[in-house]
Amino acid sequence: MTPSAAAIGAHTCQALSTVSTVLVTDPSATGRARDLLGQELRAVDQACSRLRPDSELWRVNHARGRPVRVSPLLAEALTVALAAARVTAGDVDPTCGYSLVRLGYDRDFTRVRLDERPLRRPAVPAAGWRTVELDPGRRQVTIPEGVMLDLGATAKALAADRAATKIGAALGCGVLVNLGGDIRVTGDPPPGGWRVGIADQRGFAGPPGEPAEVVTIRDGGLATSATTARAWRRGPASLHHIIVPRTGLPADSCWRAVSVAAATCVGANTASTAAIVRSERAATWLAGLRLPARLVPHRGDPVTVGGWPPSPAHAAHA
């Protein structure tokens, strides 16, 4: 998902294992926006990374069942993750950490892709989000020994929401933050709105880097989840990072990518991730929520629901 706009300030960097971009309608504020984005992303990584031995989440995951007092940021991230699990009936579950480890996602993703040895151990289901005890007032979290949290499904979207809100409040201009396809916009948009190019992740016609579709957004969040975005091989197995919690295996979805618009990036990301897991049931579910969405099958034309603008040609509607 690639944002595009003219005559605005822009900064792009690598953060949270993805490409991070901030756009502002006041070009003179670009440096300040860059600094605020960097501060927010470093704080989220320090709090929420499953893979950093110096992170707060690492401490929670290795507490052996003991309660751990956490920062306001990690408490917020855990609250968001548990809310996402609740509203999706467990399809987006933060207790998938060990499921990902068993599939070989136990280190930085650039290294995961280099290791193609066959898996030696069977998949394990998620422990279940109800095993997480969070006391928001005391900012204390307890998970059973043997449970590992992974906040990858929601923490990046939360970072986009937090960064865009903070930058917009500090600079008083229109802001777009894009963290690897998790997008949040705040403030007054540029004339005509923010134009965002959406890639189908694989197989659409056109030169490299050309989006499959361009939409315009003025506020709120937009997110795309895809089975091809973080994919790797272990022996004969083709794997990706969107896990079905009850099996611990990557979702065998009829969709290769799902894009959703919502009031926040967290809301959009939660819905797009759950849609991949729900497969054939996703379009009806998203339509019932009245969320604009574009679902791309492995073969055939995209399906749009909830008022998503139809593609220029051959879009089907559920």
Q: Convert the pLDDT of each residue in 236-273 to its tens digit.
A: 999 999 999 999 999 999 999 999 999 999 999 999 99
The answer to whether residue 269 is domain-embedded is yes
d(CA 299, CA 294): 14
**Using an 8 Å Cβ cutoff, are 192 and 300 in contact?**
no
Q: Which residues pair with 69 in a beta bridge?
A: 140
Q: Which of 218, 219, 222, 193 is nearest to 293 (CA)?
A: 222
d(CA 40, CA 167): 10
Per-residue pLDDT at 204 exceeds 70: no
More confident residue, 4 or 254: 254
State the average pLDDT over residues 63-72.
98
pLDDT band, residue 219 (cuts 50/70/90): very high
Looking at the structure of the chain, the number of domains it has is 1
Share of the chain above pLDDT 90, in %: 81
Domain of 221 in residue numbering reads as 2-27+173-317
The answer to whether residue 247 is domain-embedded is yes
Q: How far is CA 8 from CA 21, 30, 116, 195, in A?
A: 12, 9, 43, 12
Q: What is the pLDDT of residues 75-93, one digit of tens each?
A: 999 999 999 999 999 999 9
The answer to whether residue 130 is domain-embedded is no
Per-residue pLDDT at 115 exceeds 80: yes
If you search the block for the tokens 């890639």, which residue do you land on? 199
The answer to whether residue 266 is domain-embedded is yes
Q: How far is CA 236 from CA 112, 125, 213, 245, 247, in A?
A: 15, 21, 33, 22, 19
**CATH number of the CATH domain containing 261:** 3.10.520.10
The answer to whether residue 155 is domain-embedded is no
d(CA 314, CA 105): 37
The answer to whether residue 179 is domain-embedded is yes
Share of the chain above pLDDT 70, in %: 92
The answer to whether residue 293 is domain-embedded is yes
Question: Where do the DSSP E strands lie in 90-193?
Answer: 133-135, 140-142, 175-179, 182-186
Predicted structure pTM score = 0.91
The answer to whether residue 216 is domain-embedded is yes
